[in-house]
Structures are given as structure tokens and as C-alpha cells.
Amino acid sequence: MATVATPVAEICSSAKRASRTLARIDSAVKDAALEAIATALEHRSAEILEANERDMQAGREDELGAALLDRLHLDQRRIGEIARAVRQIVALGDPVGELIDGRRLPNGLDVRRVRVPLGVIAVVYEARPNVTIDAAALCLKSGNAIVLRGSSSAEHSNAMLAQIASEAATAAGLPQGCVSLVAGGGREELTELATQGDSVDLIIPRGGEGLKRALQAVATVPVIYAASGNCHVYVDASADLARAEAIVLNAKTQRPGVCNAAETLLVHSEIAPRFIPRIVRALTDAGVVVRADERVLELLADEREVAARSDAASELEAEASLSDSALVQEAGEQDWAEEYLALTLAVGVVDSAEQAIEHIGRYGSGHSEAIVTADTGAARAFQLGVDAACVYVNASTRFTDGGEFGMGAEIGNSTQKLHARGPIGLRELCTFKYLVEGDGHVRA
């Protein structure tokens, strides 16, 4: 098991040696190793929880926000979920050796294109210790060695999880160095990892824009960015308001600290007078801070004025609405580009689906975008016009997930367009090679 005392270059070289063996190991051995990892997680949960509590205590002392602490936290249930995710990967088909296509050329040569492992994959991630196991299981199943580099906030949790995975995998027949952890260090260490072109075939960062920029500045190894998710929900003029409310609340509040949570709500001006007061009330009741544009603020002011002029019961309602006003704040330009990862939502009014698409094109991160509508034309225009990995019609953005898509656990969600886009699962961790067979063929 690699630790901080081992130089980064040595860790990566060891992983490269392991990758050559992994590429030839059959599915049964890999699956047995993953089952051994899942079992070890369950049997050694007390050690995992003790390590995680050390990280949680440090996080509380450093005043990490509630959403970040939630991402860091492990308990018996979450460990069980991690183990189940590993077993779900066991149940998936092995992509290595899968025939993509094949044909016989007119000259008689047989050409087949088959999936093969990438080799060594380095995963750089922040805060979420479950990524340690999710990433390791996916890489091993797809025949890749993995080098893990987590954040200091999850230092003890990551070290324990990586140790358990490495020990269980090698005991089950996988090569030494197949799972390694680069721990400690700072930007210099990240730079060293990102420039190991002789041994690392791909880096996948899971984190915010700061991590992305840091890697863009130094990486000589190919990178797939599983980066920020500035996700939008657009409620069109024809939307069913009850359905829209349920989707918005789920997209924002079900788990606000993850990349597929909604960060901006856009509402068509035709239904805004009816929907804005309703959804803002529901959001603030759920503890969400609403960053509202000028048109939203005007609609809320109008609603309070109307309520204040009605009967006593309505006056009480208006008073309650005003008492919640601390949760409704004026939006600034920076709010539209912000990935809050918290119970905060930017809310704006637009005059058409085209305006919503234009807004998303300007501020979105290419992750997940949703429209709520009963108009098939608007839905189709949104699907064609929005440039994102996942585009939803009448569904929450929270479904962007390898497990939800039937791919098993994921390493992250790619917001790029080349090689992998959306959830990065087993097939996205493979490349391909051409196998060409002849019968003494020579080219004239």
C-alpha cells in the first residue's frame, strides 16, 4: 500500500507494472477481488468509522459548511451503501475484450475493434471518501490500476478505505500496486502526479473549478474533467405547477451538496405571477436562500401587497411572508455562474424557452439541465438547444448518476465532449484496439 512516504513517481511506476498484469486477468478473478473488497468494508467498518470521525472532528473545527460535512460523513448505512455499490459493479458485464465492431475487408483481412483498459488512471477528488472505493472498484473491473489522491479534509478516511481495498484486492489475486493512495502534500505533489506521462494514462479530477484550473495549468497527462455542476431547471409556460414544484424542490433540496443539484431556477413570465410566490414559499419553508432577480422581487412584492389588503387571515399570511424575507435576497451577476453546493438557489424570470436556452448557454457548466413543460415543441427545442451532458424533460437533474443510469457506481460526470460525457462508468474507462488477422497478407 503506497503512502505519503513513497515518492509519487514510484507509486505511479508501481501502478504501471500492475496495469500490465491487470489487463490480462479474467473477469472471475476481478469479480472475486471486488467481492473481497465489499466484504472487507463491512467487516472493518469500525476502523473506517473511527478514521472518519477524526476527519469530521477536524472539519467541525475548521468550520466546514453543513453540505461539505455531509459529503465527508460516513456511518454504518453509508458504508453498507458503498459495499453494495461494489457488488453492483461485480454484477455488471466486463467491458474488457468486448467486440465493438468487426468486418472482413475486400482483401481478406479480418478487422475487429475491441475494448481494452486505459492502463493507469489517477483520480483526484475532494471531500467525499466514498469516491475512494467507487473509483477503485470501477478501475479494477475495467482492468485499470488506480492512483488515488484525495483531499486533506478526508485524509484519514481515504487512507483507511484505500488500505482496505488494496489489501483485499491483492489477497484475492490482483497485483501489488493495483490500488495506491498519494496522501498529504500540496500543489507540488498534484503537479508531479499530473506530469507522470510515462506511467499515468489519464487523470480524472472530481472537484470544483479551483481544482480544474490547477490541473489545466500544469497537466501533461490527458484529463477528463468531472468538474462543476451549475445545473438549471426551467419551468415553461405550459408546465403543470404541482409537477414543477416537486421537481424544483427535489433538484435543489434532496441533496444540495452534489454536482447534479440545481443551482438556478428560470420561470417563464406567463406563469411567473402564479408560480413564483408558490415556489419561493416552498423553497424558503425548506430553508433555501433565494437569490432573486428584479422581476422575481417585484412579483413577491406584489403578492405581499395584495395579501396585506385582504382579510385578517391574509394579513397574517403576509406577515409570515415578510418574516421570511431574510431568505430572499437580490441576485448579483455572480449568482448566475455560482455552484453553491448548499441550500441556495438563484431564481430568475425569462420571456421564452429561447431566452432560457440562451441563459443556460452563457452560465451553465454543461452538466445537467431540465425543462418542465407540457409543450412537446418546447421540450424538443430545449433538448436540441441546450449543450449539456444530460438534458431532462419533466424530471429532476438529480438523476445524473451512474447508478441511476444502470452503469453501477461512477467516478464522476464528465462535462467534456471527447472520449466520455456524462457519468464515467466501466466503458468510459476503456479505450480500444484493432485486432487484424490475415493469411500471409502483404500490402502491394
Span of 79-93, 95-109, 291-305 with lowest mean pLDDT = 291-305
Short-list 176, 164, 319, 347, CA closest to 245: 347
Tens digit of each residue's pLDDT (9 = 90 or more) over 98-125: 999 999 999 999 999 999 999 999 999 8
Would the CA dihedral through 242, 245, 251, 255 be positive or negative?
Answer: negative
Short-list 176, 60, 179, 82, CA closest to 128: 82
Short-list 402, 413, 367, CA closest to 388: 367
User: Distance between CA atoms of 369 and 356, rounded to whole angstroms?
Assistant: 11
One-letter amino acid for residue 107 of the chain: N
What CATH architecture is 8-226+411-437?
3-Layer(aba) Sandwich (3.40)
CB 275 within 8 A of CB 235: yes
Short-list 115, 141, 151, CA closest to 30: 141
Burial of residue 285 (CB within 10 Å: 0-12, 13-18, 19+) is exposed
Short-list 374, 354, 426, CA closest to 117: 426
Check residue 8 and give its pLDDT.
94
- Bridge partner residues of 180 (DSSP): 147
- Mean pLDDT over 165-194 rounds to 91
Confidence of residue 311 (pLDDT cuts 50, 70, 90): low
CA 231 to mean position of chain CA atoms: 12
Number of other CB atoms surrounding residue 240 within 10 Å: 14
CB 197 within 8 A of CB 334: no
User: Distance between CA atoms of 383 and 369, rounded to whole angstroms?
Assistant: 9
Side-by-side strand order, sheet with 368-372: 328-330, 289-292, 344-350, 262-268, 231-235, 368-372, 390-393
One-letter amino acid for residue 433 of the chain: K
Q: Which segments within 97-201 are labelled E, that is strand?
A: 99-104, 110-117, 120-125, 145-149, 179-181
Burial of residue 237 (CB within 10 Å: 0-12, 13-18, 19+) is middle
Global confidence as pTM: 0.83
CB 237 within 8 A of CB 270: yes
Confidence of residue 68 (pLDDT cuts 50, 70, 90): confident
Grid coordinates belonging to 285? 419553508
Distances (CA, A) of 434 to 235, 240, 297, 440: 47, 51, 60, 18
In the chain, where are the structural domains located? 8-226+411-437, 231-399
Side-by-side strand order, sheet with 99-104: 99-104, 110-117, 430-437
Check residue 356 and give its pLDDT.
98
Tens digit of each residue's pLDDT (9 = 90 or more) over 229-287: 999 999 999 999 999 999 999 999 999 988 999 999 999 999 999 999 999 999 999 99
Domain 231-399 belongs in CATH node 3.40.309.10:
yes
